[in-house]
Amino acid sequence: MKKYWSFFRIRFQTALQYRAAAIAGAVTQLLWGGMEILAFHAFYTADPVAFPMGFEQLSSYIWLQQAFLALFMMWNWDAELFESIQRGDIAYELVRPIHLYGMWSVKLLANRLAKAALRCGPVLLVAALLPAPYGLSLPSSLESFCLFLLSMALGVLTVVAFGMPVYIASFYMVSSLGLRIVVATFTEFFSGAVIPLPFFPAKLQRMMELLPFGGMQNLPLRVYSGAISPREALQGVGLQLIWLAALTAFGLWGMKRAVKKTVVMGG
């Protein structure tokens, strides 16, 4: 575990150095969150009864989504990993006495956590100071807040586990750019990053909630806002655990096959 902790700490400290980018990202997320809330407010004003979430719940959903964007966004790929595979530098990683899947996972997790740590503070602070119903409200209960933290942790791990097969697939491709674009677009839509899942038709919403995407950000954000009861949240956490185990097992299997077939050319 010391080896994995070392990789995690090094990547986390490295990512913390990009403070200017973090400030720019926080400002962008504040403006984007504000525009999104105002756009939804126009629809709610027209017919407030027709929507499946209260406007105050929706505001909390959007502000939490913007504050922790770095944790959940699928288009945040690690370019160094793809370049190391394409250039053949992966050979140096293969000779290290450490499991490649575990090393990549902790690096990706550290990168997401560091970016979120730099950006979430200003967004949460400004959102909490905004008047109701436009700002970030307190969680509906202590139980919901604890379930939110648990669900968010599992959601981040699921995002990392879901992205690992994309990195592994690049062993077999000249360029994985097309695959990355398709996966990121598909995941952003089905995880509730574009439109919260309750706004979809009931049958489609249920299907999306059963897929791994529903547990990436939709579940924890709705748990915090009180749009999901504690009982439903526990069921969702159980589904998150199942998908996390399945995706991790699939990634480990894919990594084992890819490493066995890898041939590094050059000298």
For the segment 78-98, the average pLDDT, to the nearest whole number, is: 79
Instruction: Provide the mean pLDDT of the chain.
Output: 87
Please, are residues 61 and 222 in contact by the beta-carbon 8 Å criterion? yes
Residue 161 is assigned to a structural domain of this protein: yes
For the segment 118-140, the average pLDDT, to the nearest whole number, is: 89
Among residues of the chain, what percentage have pLDDT more than 70?
98
Which residue has better confidence, 84 or 39?
A: 39
Residue 243 is assigned to a structural domain of this protein: yes
Residue 257 is assigned to a structural domain of this protein: yes
Structure tokens that stand for 155 in this block: 């959601």
Distance CA 15, CA 64 (A): 21
Residue 90 is assigned to a structural domain of this protein: yes
Structure tokens that stand for 232 in this block: 């439903």
Evaluate the CA torsion angle 87, 105, 75, 124 in order and state its sign.
negative
Whole-Å CA distances, 142 to 127, 149, 161, 200, 225: 20, 11, 29, 29, 12
Please, are residues 186 and 101 in contact by the beta-carbon 8 Å criterion? no
Structure tokens that stand for 40 in this block: 């939804």
Q: Which DSSP state fits 211? A: S
For the segment 126-144, the average pLDDT, to the nearest whole number, is: 89
What's residue 161's pLDDT?
93
For the segment 132-144, the average pLDDT, to the nearest whole number, is: 87
For the segment 185-210, the average pLDDT, to the nearest whole number, is: 88
Q: Is the pLDDT of residue 71 over 70?
A: yes
Please, are residues 199 and 30 in contact by the beta-carbon 8 Å criterion? no
Range of lowest pLDDT (69-78, 89-98, 177-186)? 89-98
- Tell me which residue range forms the domain holding 164: 2-261
What's residue 64's pLDDT?
93
What's residue 63's pLDDT?
94
pTM (2 decimals)?
Answer: 0.90
Distance CA 28, CA 231 (A): 35
Specify the length of the chain in residues. Answer: 267
Please, are residues 88 and 266 in contact by the beta-carbon 8 Å criterion? yes
pLDDT in tens, 217-266: 899 999 998 888 888 899 999 999 999 999 999 999 998 888 777 766 65
Rg of the chain (C-alpha set): 20
pLDDT in tens, 10-23: 888 888 887 888 88
What's the total number of domains in the chain?
A: 1
Distance CA 60, CA 63 (A): 5
What's residue 265's pLDDT?
62
